[in-house]
Amino acid sequence: MSSDHVRFTERPAAGPEPATGGPDTGGPATGSAEAPFLELLARGAPVAAYEQPVLLARAEGRPAEWIDALERARLLALRVRAELEGRRRREAELSALFETAHDLAGLRDLDSVLQAIVQRARSLLGTDVAYLTLNDPDRGDTYMRVTEGSVSARFQQLRLGMGEGLGGLVAQTARPYVTDDYFKDNRFQHTGAIDAGVRDEGLVAILGVPLMLGPHVIGVLFAADRRARIFEREQIALLSSFAALAAAAIDSANLLAETRSALADLERANEIIRDRSAVIERASEVHDRLAELVLRGGGVHDVAAAVSEVLDGTVDFTETAAAPAGALEASRAEGHAVRHGQDWIAAVAAGGELLGALVLRGHPDLDPVDQRTLERAAMVTSLLMLARRSAAEAEQRVRGELLDDLLDARARDPRLLRERAARLHADLDATHVVLAARLDAPAADAEQEAAARRRLWSAASHLAATQQGLAAARDGGTVLLLPLPQGDSATDLARRIARHLGTAVNEAVTVGASAPLEHLTARPDTVTAAYEEARRCLEALRLLGRTGDGAAAQDFGFLGLLLAGDRDIAGFVDRTIGEVIAYDERRGTDLIRTLEAYFASGMSPARTKDELHVHVNTVAQRLERVGRLLGEDWQTPARALEIQLALRLHRLSAPALRG
């Protein structure tokens, strides 16, 4: 016997049951007949379990009156059970509606609310799938907004034309519609796309109810099963309630969005008013600041700092060569600041000549009034630069006169030279290099050539002033006397000056450098010789096709002997094989003689050992030592030629040195 069978106390077979019921009992007393059914109700047993007490009584041969009483009690219990089930279901539905309404009242995310509505509708109706579609006024169709229980990607991405499918019928009539077999129902318009999506999902029975905002249908809420099913009136009413909540949620979200948009518009308007006021105040402030700077003789970087503070950004003055060429030219041509990426560029120009740019960095959304402020700052900067240029040109003439005197050896008094140099912040007692610079691009006419030379002289003079040197125009080019930075060579300085001047004048500039000079005040005549050496180096660069480059005499190896004015033979020998000579002097070895024999023997170790009368391993060891002293490339053709010349000069100069 199953667990749903109910045992009850047997009564004596003789005699009828005592009548304990009232007028409504309709026969024998039913009090004890109802007991097993009350127990079943209390346990929440399934419907099938209510047959067991009747079947058991018949099997035991109970009287007909007792069985009739059990039947009446069973029917009554089933009615009570159905009523309880209905109340529980309505309670669950009301609870779900209440929770959904609560979610709607605290609406923060429309997607979450709609998803909750679809989930609860599916759960309470016990369907396989629930989904919600919304109308798209812009595209004139309907699209799938939320699904629950769907497994088909095609179904989830469906878009329906207006009036198509079951949803179209619901939208047209603004009334619920139900079909127990979708594909056999011809009361709505079937389409290939919709049918394919429904078939992919495997849906059969579908219930759709409209989402209404006033008299307008804005979408449809669906519940569907993958088997034939009859939807009851209570289920249709429940889904309609959920649809009403969904419509209310959408309406609330739209109203909330409109409210937020209106508030945002008001906030933007207030911000614009505040910004306008702040901009006007900033414009007035920057005008006063710039006027003050001009009156007290401020510089370019003072202007940039003042504008940076007023515009609440970073403003830098940039040289013409370092500024973005396209933006700089556009600003010069238009007379306005122009945007370049995240920055703003305002050209600093005078009489069509570009002097540089003011760059406002990291401020892409510049107010028009602030843009005008940046443009005025650029104008003030150009005026300051012109004033400074006039003063600088006067200083450049003085610097040029001092260098001319050094080149022409007019003033030989060291004290006077030092005093004149000190007034120009130059230190003639430091190590200097003389550099000869010349433009290499051919000019179209004499006027253009003269203009190019003036630009070169101006750039060289500016460079000399910033590096505490001297500059002068001479022999169709420019000559500079610059201090040699510690750790630099004359070659490094020449190449750096060639690049700098070439960038400044936007043409190729070739620079030749002398050897470093010391104690100029004591020997001012050395400047003239150094200038001649630099000029010869410059001509050698041009003859070798190295225009736009910089070099010193030492860069040409033994050719430097021909270029150097003082024929520095000892310097060449020391630079080339000095390490080997010093090693022999320290260790008492004979590496120089080994090198001479090695080159005399055609660079053959076997013939070298015969020349020196030593073992070939000894030759190899000595040559290995030479390689460590001179570098691994000492046997390359170029190096070998210089080393052989240095050996010959060393041999020739040895008697004189000894004497």
CA distance readout (Å), 581 to 168, 572, 592, 613: 105, 13, 7, 21
Q: Where are the beta strands (DSSP E) in 116-191?
A: 129-136, 141-148, 159-161, 177-179
List the structure tokens of 566: 């003082």
Q: What is the DSSP letter of 554?
A: G
pLDDT given at position 8: 37
Bridge partner list, 356: 348
pLDDT given at position 583: 92
The three-class DSSP label of residue 603 is coil
Q: Identify the residue whose tokens are 């889904």.
A: 239
CA 419 – CA 425 distance, rounded (Å):
10
- Are the C-beta atoms of 433 and 512 separated by less than 8 Å? no
Phi first, then psi: what are they for 263, rounded to 5°?
-65, -40
Q: Identify the residue whose tokens are 């049951």.
A: 17
CA distance readout (Å), 182 to 128, 165, 174, 187, 205: 15, 10, 19, 10, 6
131-134-137 Cα angle (round to 5): 165
pLDDT given at position 133: 92
pLDDT given at position 446: 74
pTM more than 0.75:
no
Among candidates 512, 517, 524, 498, which has minimal Cα distance to 554? 512
Give the distance, in angstroms, between the CA of residue 561 and the centroid of all CA atoms in the same chain.
56
List the structure tokens of 153: 């990607």
CA 7 – CA 2 distance, rounded (Å):
11
Q: Beta strand 550-552 with 509-513: parallel, antiparallel or unpaired?
A: parallel
Given a cut of 70, the residues of the chain with pLDDT beneath it are 1-31, 84, 86-108, 273, 275-289, 291-298, 351-352, 387-401, 409-414, 422, 441-444, 524, 544, 556-569, 652-659
The three-class DSSP label of residue 495 is helix
CA 617 – CA 605 distance, rounded (Å):
9
pLDDT given at position 527: 82
- Are the C-beta atoms of 133 and 159 separated by less than 8 Å? no
- Are the C-beta atoms of 396 and 389 separated by less than 8 Å? no
Angle between helices 64-105 and 233-295 (to 10 degrees): 10
pLDDT given at position 204: 94
CA distance readout (Å), 403 to 153, 205, 322, 457: 86, 105, 30, 13
pLDDT given at position 536: 81
Q: Which helix (H) or strand (E) holds 218?
A: strand 216-225
pLDDT given at position 557: 61
Alpha helices, DSSP H, located in 506-558: 525-543
Q: What is the DSSP letter of 442?
A: P
pLDDT given at position 203: 94
CA 484 – CA 492 distance, rounded (Å):
10
Bridge partner list, 513: 435, 552
Written as one letter, the residue type at 438 is R
CA distance readout (Å), 358 to 4, 63, 301, 328, 337: 94, 114, 10, 10, 9
pLDDT given at position 28: 41
CA 246 – CA 212 distance, rounded (Å):
9
